[in-house]
Amino acid sequence: QKEVEQNSGPLSVPEGAIASLNCTYSDRGSQSFFWYRQYSGKSPELIMFIYSNGDKEDGRFTAQLNKASQYVSLLIRDSQPSDSATYLCASDNAGKSTFGDGTTLTVKP
Amino acid sequence: NAGVTQTPKFQVLKTGQSMTLQCAQDMNHNSMYWYRQDPGMGLRLIYYSASEGTTDKGEVPNGYNVSRLNKREFSLRLESAAPSQTSVYFCASSERRAGSTEAFFGQGTRLTVV
């Protein structure tokens, strides 16, 4: 079992819909969690960081963390075609980061 | 432009050759990282440096060495390249600031070992 598991996808949603991306982790020592967006052939870009249980909102993005269930999610509201990318979930334990394999999202106009 | 600069962008090596990937950041970040990304996969941590003068192994350190030359620079060395090291390599830096975190990646080095 990988330390960080993501739905492999691909995930396809219509423009304007809510995209929901999920991630589970196995290392209970992980303190911080990240969501990165990576366009094809490009570098990852940090879009959300969360370390407390609950929700964290930033514009159209909401990250949710449930440490008891070892679950992290990312919601993208009002999805746009420009949101089409691979989304990487990562955990961090004292500086040592572990990434999932990513979920590819396609937003159809 | 501020950010993380990696060199080179592309490299082809023969099996057994050595090379060093260079990385520099100008954001005064304490933490720096080297990752590799294979097709269709996420990033795997090779080595990281939480601060100047310290380095630690990540998930896949075998076949690599690193040097944190100063706060700005973190290099990755392949002593004897193998075809299994064909990958895209990313350098990153990060800093925890006032309840948030900023992290930036370099543009990547596409390495092919033949």
Share of chain A above pLDDT 70, in %: 100
Average pLDDT on B5-13 reads 97
Tell me the three state secondary structure of residue B44: strand
Q: CB neighbours (10 Å) of residue B70?
A: 10
Rounded distance between C-alpha atoms, residue A59 and residue B69, angstroms:
38
H runs (alpha helix) in chain B:
none
Instruction: State which H helix or E strand residue A94 sits in.
Output: none
- pLDDT (0 to 100) of residue B97: 82
Q: pLDDT (tens digit, 9 = 90+) per residue, B70-79? A: 999 999 999 9
Q: pLDDT (tens digit, 9 = 90+) per residue, B19-40? A: 999 999 999 999 999 999 998 8
Mean pLDDT (chain A, rounded): 95
- For β-strands B109-113 and A54-58, DSSP reports them as unpaired
Report CB contact under 8 Å: B42, A99. yes
Q: pLDDT (tens digit, 9 = 90+) per residue, A2-37? A: 899 998 789 999 999 999 999 999 999 999 999 999
Q: By CA distance, what is B109's nearest residue in A?
A: A43
Report CB contact under 8 Å: B42, A4. yes
Q: Which of A96, A101, A103, A104 to mutate to test the interface with B (most CBs of B within 10 A)?
A: A96
Cβ-based neighbours of A16, under 8 Å, separated by 6 or more:
A78, A79
- pLDDT (0 to 100) of residue A11: 95
Instruction: Show residues of chain A in contact with B107, CB under 8 Å.
Output: 43
- pLDDT (0 to 100) of residue A2: 81
Q: CB neighbours (10 Å) of residue B62?
A: 8
pLDDT exceeds 60 at position B63: yes
- pLDDT (0 to 100) of residue B1: 54
Look up residue B109 and give its DSSP letter: E
Which residues of chain B are at the A interface, by a Cβ-Cβ cutoff of 8 Å? Answer: 31, 33, 35, 40-45, 48, 50, 56, 58-59, 90, 92, 100-108
The neighbouring-strand residues paired with B23 are B6
Share of chain B above pLDDT 70, in %: 98
